[in-house]
Amino acid sequence: MTRLALIAHDDEKPEMIDLAESYESLLSTFDLVGTGTTGKRVAEETGLTVERKESGPIGGDAQIAAEVAEDRLDGIVFLRDPLTAQPHEPDISALLRICDVHDTPLATTRTTAEYVLDGLAADIEGD
């Protein structure tokens, strides 16, 4: 089963909810995991089932990074707020870096997220 992580900074959470609603039928076939607040909101506002890690600032990004290091994830949608400093920037940088190391698809904007989701859907159809 395709395993996808969902992460969004606070200003980007409405965009994440909107994206999850737009792709709900595809996402309902995925094994979803998210950082604490993102996972909670996506689950509550869409009805999708999302495994929840800790909130980002207290280790959630690091937990997702650990899954990438173990090759447990097929992709990540991480809608970052590029205009607001984050107290856990080192964790965020580590997550981005480990995605590069493992060549794990990582989308950080709505448009790239749509490409990644469409790509994952095409992979499933091709199987």
Show binding-site residues for substrate.
Answer: 9, 13, 35-38, 55-56, 88
Contact call for residue 75 and ligand 13P (CB under 6 A): no
Q: Is 92 in the site for ligand 13P (CB under 6 A)?
A: yes
How far apart, in whole angstroms, are the C-alpha atoms of residue 7 and residue 34?
A: 6
In DSSP terms, which residues pair with 76 in a beta bridge?
A: 5, 106
Determine the Cα–Cα distance for residues 66 and 87; give it in Å rounded to an integer: 20
Residues 13-32 that bind ligand 13P (CB under 6 A): none
Q: Does 68 bind ligand 13P (CB under 6 A)?
A: no
Q: How far is the CB of 64 from ligand 13P (least distance, A)?
A: 9
Is residue 61 part of the annotated active site? The answer reads: yes
Residue 63 interacts with ligand 13P (CB under 6 A)?
no
Tokens read off for 59: 């280790």
**Number of residues engaging ligand 13P in binding (CB under 6 A):** 13
**Among the listed residues 55, 44, 65, the one whose alpha carbon sits nearest the alpha carbon of residue 10:** 55
